[in-house]
Amino acid sequence: MEERKLKLVENPPIVKICGLCKAFGGVQALKNVDLEIPEGRIIGLLGANGSGKTTLIKILAGLYTAYDGTVLIDGERPGAKSKAEVSYLPDRPAFSLKRTAEEIKEIYAEFFEDFEADRFARLMEGFEIGMTTPFKEMSKGMIDKVQISFAMSRRARLYLLDEPLGGVDVKARDSVLDVILENFDSKGTILVATHLISEIERLFDSVVVLREGRVALQGSCDDIRSRYGSNLEEAMKAVF
């Protein structure tokens, strides 16, 4: 799979964040985050465990609604309207393990107008996963592939992928990255939270690095590699 190259012309932002703060009890998960995410990009959201990656993803997905600051997706605060334009892949299964992909497919088709059932069926066939196999009989990697198939079968404006390769075995990771890239609409944006930097960095146009709830670094992958004279993983080691 060829590495994507960042376009020279900057696209308008689909996400605008200003002064975002989020606390859980006395712990500040996000601290005064200012961030703009442009359209038509695949962006890595990087940082150590506890840096605020999943918290930011869940705010954009509309799952956390209590926070300070401004968060806008295509001009709207995350909520019912934005969810129609946002495809969210959580870091753990979001459905009952007693269900099957066929059953969840019907729910997706009912709730999301942009869901393409034919595309979902093709992706599942490519992964060689049965539509009627209960999730409880699948491995973690298989379930992750099902979730990726659901997420990438929508024609969303913004895709939020939280650790999409977390349970996928090493041999299958390239095929999963291919699925993400091949089903990426150039008018959409993908934000990928991951700690598997070396295996997925070729997917990214640019990255946002969080450290202790703050934006520690942001820029194009080429600029960061040039600045640190290394790949992204080594650059992140220098940052932290």
Q: Per residue, what are the HEC states of 66-93?
A: CCEEEEEECCECCCHHHHCCEEEECCCC
Q: Distance (Å, rounded) from C-alpha 235 to C-alpha 46?
A: 11
At the fourth CATH level, the homologous superfamily of domain 13-239 is P-loop containing nucleotide triphosphate hydrolases (3.40.50.300)
Q: Each residue of 55-82: pLDDT tens digit?
A: 999 999 999 999 999 999 999 999 888 8
Q: Distance (Å, rounded) from C-alpha 99 to C-alpha 149?
A: 16
> What mean pLDDT is predicted for residues 73-96?
90
Where do the structural domains in the chain lie, given as residue ranges? 13-239
Residue with the two structure tokens 């977390």: 166
Q: Is the pLDDT of residue 4 over 80?
A: no
| Residues 32, 216 contacting (CB under 8 angstroms) | no
Give the rounded percent of residues in the chain with a pLDDT score beyond 70.
Answer: 96
Q: Each residue of 192-231: pLDDT tens digit?
A: 999 888 888 888 999 999 999 999 999 999 999 898 888 8
Q: Is the pLDDT of residue 9 over 50?
A: no
- Residue 214 DSSP SS3: strand
Q: Which of 7-11, 140-144, 156-160 is least confident?
A: 7-11
- Residue 13 DSSP SS3: strand
Average pLDDT over the chain, rounded to an integer: 89
Q: Distance (Å, rounded) from C-alpha 143 to C-alpha 137?
A: 10
Which pLDDT score, from 0 to 100, does residue 17 have?
98
